[in-house]
Amino acid sequence: MTAIPVATATLEVRSVTMRFGGVLAVDDVSFSARTGEVLGVMGPNGAGKTTLFNVISGVQRPTSGDVSLRGVRLTGRSVEDVASCGVTRTFQTPVMFWGLTVRESVEVALAAREFGGTYPPAPLRELAPCGLGSPGRRHAQAALRERADVLLAGAGIAAMADRATESLAFGEERLLELARALAVEPTVLLLDEPLSGLNPDEVDAVIASIRAARTDGVAVLLVEHAVGELLSVADRVVVLDHGRMIAEGLPAQVAADPVVIDAYIGDELE
């Protein structure tokens, strides 16, 4: 196991426990993620990976323990507040904004940051300028559009920009969801099985996006069932089994760890 100096840690998960009735979905898990690294989160089905993501992103409140970002406590905040702090996520089943085009979906993500803050009061900041169609607002709208196009080009899906989200294939939905998440310029990005259901080209595109995000200094947490891809893209790996963290280390170390092979990779190979 590698010890991580606290100073370089971005996201800190401390003794998080999540109990549903009598079931311990996550049992006293602690780890941290650093800027500019891809942290793989491995484990067989029901190991507690998605629950862990739910806790980090504020969807669920842990029974005990807490999560903090650069010393700022995230636990207890709402999902949108956690996102405003710089932690965003994707979902196992992509969430699409039906009724919007691809570009507009990205604009929503970009506008969410713009609408942040506390002064002036929300109606004067959001409702009034948008409804009155003020010149400033129109400029901002045009700027959003440009930035959205840049992001879509970066994700390699510029050609989809004007398509309705209802018309996307599954793989395209994943690519859009990732582009949308990157639009909020996250400090920490949680990806829940971003490769499942993709064709090889799309897999390459997603992996390229993940590597690019890492270069930009994002801490990427990656849950993925495709163990080969996960080990090749991750800088470091934590392994969960039945809610407990059973290993942590470099991909090569973890892959060779008999405990891990026993609990997880062994299952997969059989």
Residues in contact with another protein by CB under 8 A are: 20-21, 57, 59, 78-80, 83-84, 88-91, 95-100, 104-105, 107-109, 111-116, 122-123, 126-127, 130-133, 137, 140-141, 144, 177, 180-181, 183-184
Nearer to another protein, 135 or 200 (CB): 135
How far apart are the C-alpha atoms of 193 and 111, rounded to whole Å? 26
Nearer to another protein, 72 or 95 (CB): 95
Quick one: which H or E segment has residue 140?
Answer: helix 135-154
Name the minimum Å distance from CB 129 to another protein: 8
In the chain, what is the straight-line distance between the N-terminal and C-terminal CA atoms, in Å? 27
Contacts of 259 by beta carbon, 8 Å cutoff, 6+ apart: 246, 247
Smallest distance, Å, CB 20 to another protein? Answer: 7
Q: Which residues contact 108 (CB under 8 A, 6 or more apart)?
A: 97, 100, 180
Q: Could you say which DSSP state residue 163 is in? A: S
**Which one, 32 or 165, has the nearer CB to another protein?**
165
Q: How far is the CB of 188 from another protein (least distance, A)?
A: 12
Minimum distance, C-beta of residue 135 to another protein, in the bound complex (Å) = 12
The residue (of 223 and 231) whose beta carbon lies closer to another protein is 223
Task: Supply the DSSP symbol for 61.
Answer: -
What minimum distance in Å lies between the beta carbon of 256 and another protein?
Answer: 35
Handedness of CA 66, 70, 76, 80 (dihedral sign): negative
Of 76 and 116, nearer to another protein (C-beta) is 116
| Distance, CA of 102 to CA of 152 (rounded, Å) | 9
3-class SS of residue 161:
coil
96/205 with CB nearer another protein? 96
Shortest distance (Å) from residue 93 CB to another protein: 10
Nearest alpha-carbon partner for 31 in 59, 1, 58? 1
Angstrom distances, CA of residue 264 to CA of 240, 249, 255 = 9, 15, 10
Which residues make beta-bridge pairs with 223?
41, 192
Nearer to another protein, 46 or 249 (CB): 46
Minimum gap (Å) between residue 167 Cβ and another protein: 14
Q: Which residues pair with 249 in a beta bridge?
A: 237
